[in-house]
Amino acid sequence: MGLKSLVIDAWSWLNYKPVYSDPSLGMPNRRAFPEAHASWVPAADERRLAAYKLLAAYDNNQAGELAELRDGPSARERREFGDPSMFIDTLVAHVMGREQHIIVPGAEQTDTENETTAAAAERVQGLLRDWADNELLPMRMLQCERKAVGLGDGVYLLYWDPAKQRPRLKTYDPGFYFPVLPEDGDGADYPDRVHIAWELPEDPKRGLKPRLRRITYELDWIRPATASGIDRAGRAVRAPVMSDPTDDTPAAPVLGRGDQVDDTGAISRMYPWSDEPAYRTCYLTDATWELGDLKGGVDVDDLPMDKASFATNGSGEVLDHLDLLIDFIPVVHVPNTVPPAEEHWGQSSLAKALQAFDELASTDTDSARASATTGLPMIGISGITNHRHDQHVGPGTLFTLGENGRLTAVDTSPALRELRAHGHDLADRAANVVRLPAVSLGTMDPSKVPSGYALELSLGPLDSLISGMRLARDHKDRLLLRFVQRLFLAGQHPDWAGVTPLPARLVRGPYTPTDKAAVLEQVATAYKAEVISLETAIRMLTEAGWPIDGAEKEIEQIQARSFEQARMLADALGNPDEVAAFLGRQAPDEQVAPAVQLPSLPAAATVDDPAAQRQQGSRGNE
């Protein structure tokens, strides 16, 4: 028998569990984790898949059921009251925030110097928000976040749907995700080859045997065009497209539309989101194998292609190295935490608190047993006169005792009280390890909070925790929105014609209680003192939880009623068009003022005219 070695890896915090780390071999129990020991699963992924299943069991109150496979029926008696699931739900709510907004920098600017840039950013932002509404992005995020928080990793998959004319977003269990990581590469870099694989059960009604399905995305050099065909065995495959031979030239591979061959013989193409020619593209393969055909030392990355049955999409294209005409893999891996140096995987938020949850479950089990003796106490009877009948304790029961008879009840409530107090201590210990203060779990009495400042200090560990978790997701959120823009362009959606992809961010809302009145006072004071712009003020109010649907629309509505500022703008510029644009209205047509019509001079007055004589006077001074 080989000696057990100490294993320290991304899942070694589970080594204390005998069902996960066998005392003799140090490997997960085969009966408890048969999926991790499947013949096609790489050896490096066995502990990862077993960890996912064990964490899922804690989330679903089935840790005792899983331990029963190794420790026997006694392990099934443990009480599990959903504490791990409550922690996961709380953390998911905090990391998601109360709302999510897609922001394209520059879309909220109202200056007139960069109108073209602001209009382009506003257009991209509006299109992305429409896509998020149609694709139910918050719900997809919630699905992925629950996997990431509970298991340590989440996976998004994007693909173009010709019927709906938009990129579709799917969430996969990380247990189906098998990236091919290079041995000498950085684990933080995304791999060039990704598998999403899972087993399909036997279906006797359809005559189907147990199968393995594998979807592969791979970045590789651009090759000549291919088309759907059939091989000699009758399987649907893809074959190179050849030109018609002539008397002078033989048949040759045909290039794809827009592809070119450079001086070195390499094939390049221009993608609509790049100004430089690209030499690589993403190939999609969707195939199924019968498990009986997987013999020998093969794993998910080197399955026998001659035994594969390739799928066909809705357009009739065989998914055998199908060129997707994109230069990226549309799979986004979301780690729950920032991975360690040269690592790829995140860590579950329950990782360091699992032993506390085990102790809490044991305490709850002991409390359940102790409550039975407290609710139905044990009675000691001495000096009974009638021994012919069994004694039963119940309401209205009469006991006939002798001269020195006694009736004694065994009080076990102090032990139950201690067990419950110990349970509260363990729950607080688990919350401290996870860095979830009582106020975030809703278990703190609000009347016991001395002040708002003390409450803010108690949220310090939670702030650092959520900041780190959001930091791990920030780049992935940007990557997701970048892929969405590129898929719209690759799908040639008419609304995206002429659109240049722009950096976009997914802003998550606040997760702690916010004093909206205090934030409003700060914003109003700063804006009145002209130390922040209107755009910054609106952004601060949005982050504080004010119901503002769109910053740019809110700014337009505010400016449309700012007549005093419009008057000052008119005095400064003297341009009615600028003032009308500021108010969001149309300037009135400028009317030319009519020329002044002066009255004509009267004709030369005569001496006989009395009025003229009066005007001339006596001229006595002449």
How would residue 396 be classed by pLDDT, with cut points 50, 70 and 90? low
More confident residue, 326 or 598: 326
Q: Please tell me the distance from the alpha carbon of residue 51 to that of residue 65, in angstroms, as a whole number.
A: 15
Question: Distance (Å, rounded) from C-alpha 553 to C-alpha 556?
Answer: 5
* Mean per-residue pLDDT, 69-84: 87
543 contacts 510 by C-beta, under 8 angstroms: yes
Residue 608 pLDDT greater than 60, yes or no? no
Residue 55 CA to its chain's centroid (Å): 19
**Span 77-98, mean pLDDT?**
91
Backbone dihedral angles phi then psi of residue 213, each to the nearest 5 degrees: -105, 135
Task: Give the pLDDT score at 404.
Answer: 73
pTM for the full predicted model: 0.81
Arithmetic mean of pLDDT over the chain: 85
Average pLDDT over residues 431-441: 85
Residue 610's pLDDT band, with cuts at 50, 70 and 90, is low
The predicted pLDDT at position 1 comes to: 47
pLDDT at 98: 84
Question: DSSP letter at 532?
Answer: S
- Is it the case that residue 388 has pLDDT exceeding 70? no
33-37, 43-47, 92-96, 421-425: least confidently modelled range? 421-425
Judged against a pLDDT cut of 50, whether residue 167 lies above it is answered with yes
CB burial of 421-446 (b: ≥16 within 10 Å; e: otherwise) equals ebbeebbeebbebbbbbebbeeeeee
The pLDDT of residue 212 is above 80: yes
Please give the backbone phi and psi of residue 169, each rounded to the nearest 5 degrees, phi first.
-120, 125
Model confidence at 113, pLDDT cuts 50, 70, 90, reads low
Question: For position 602, what pLDDT does the model report?
Answer: 66
Does 203 score more than 80 pLDDT? yes
